[in-house]
Structure 1
């Protein structure tokens, strides 16, 4: 399958379950390889992943719910908790600071570049999960949950949480995407 076919299959899938069609080892391999292969400006290797599975996945979503002190719907959180696992995306600020010191002319760009690399990593893992017939969606409960997540996984303060990607077996496929006039967003200049 070419990259565009893979991207067409990648969708936000919210109805997920614990059972997945592959082993945890295959999921770990996908996440590990994507993290290694996705480029990062200046080859700084700023990206960090926490792959929460089983009990840690459940604890994560309970922790997220508790962090909001009842201000988010339990049903929504339980929908994410119903999945098999969660990929937590971070970048390591200490890596950026070293690069900023080493290349002061580019100092302001390193946070932007780290975000870009993180976006590439997210779409790569998300698309890879879908290729394994696993559904996923992306959530942004940070910064409210940052401290609690760092405590739960004993992470250094330098880790900056970007997104949470719950994933699992697909309970229901999403509705077809509405077709758009892409010429409004893509200009071809000759």
Structure 2
């Protein structure tokens, strides 16, 4: 089986991660940059953006998220939320995924017949980027999971890291060296999900 498919099969959601990495920061940065460069996008729009947070910046993201959620989760239910935030903060870093709405809106104006589709296509492309980064991290021995605390944290994230106003936050991917294995993955019958006609 090709190495890519092997890596894809190994990719899982890791919630038990540590403040250790299996590879240098420069390698992580390189993986993300290559993923951004080579993940396909409709009309070659290249609208995906990414921000990689290490160290205190990684911690700051999850502190922002924790305090944002503290304002909306009932106090008597907050401990479970806090535990979850602490598990993400316990990681080594986080990749933030964005779409540049300026690119999407430019394509909508340039090709009005497809205007309604460009936001959908940009999200599809971003999903591909997330999978590429996730699988690349997995192949280097790092565990990750995909989180979605947007739009609750959008404004604070933009302010904290001077993110352009046209960038829309799509997802957050905390990662680190795994310290706990994920549970067994359940699969629905593939023959009910794939049809082949020959």
What TM-score comes out, normalization by structure 2 length? Answer: 0.93
* Structure 2 partner of 1:123: 131
Contact 1:35/1:47 (<8 A) preserved? yes
Match of residue 104, structure 2, among 96, 109, 112 = 96
Instruction: Say which is worse superposed, 155-164 or 123-132, in terms of deviation.
Output: 155-164
Residue 165 of structure 2 aligns to a residue in which SS? coil
Q: List runs of 5+ in structure 2 lacking aligned partners.
A: none
Alignment of 1:1-190 (within 5 A): 1-70=2-71, 71=73, 72=78, 73-190=81-198
Query: How far is the alpha carbon of 1:178 from its aligned partner?
Result: 2.5
The Cα shift of 1:74 comes to 1.3
Q: TM-score, normalised by structure 1?
A: 0.96
RMSD after superposition: 1.1
Deviant stretches of 4+, over 4 Å: none
The size of the alignment, in residue pairs, is 190
Q: CA deviation at 1:69?
A: 2.5
Q: SS at 1:141's partner residue?
A: coil
The 8 Å contact of residues 130 and 136 in structure 1, kept in 2 or not, is answered as yes
Deviation at 1:102, TM superposition (A): 1.0
| 3-state SS, counterpart of residue 170 of structure 2 | strand
Unpaired runs of 5+ in structure 1? none
Give the Cα–Cα distance (whole angstroms) in 2 for the partners of residues 115 and 146 of structure 1: 17
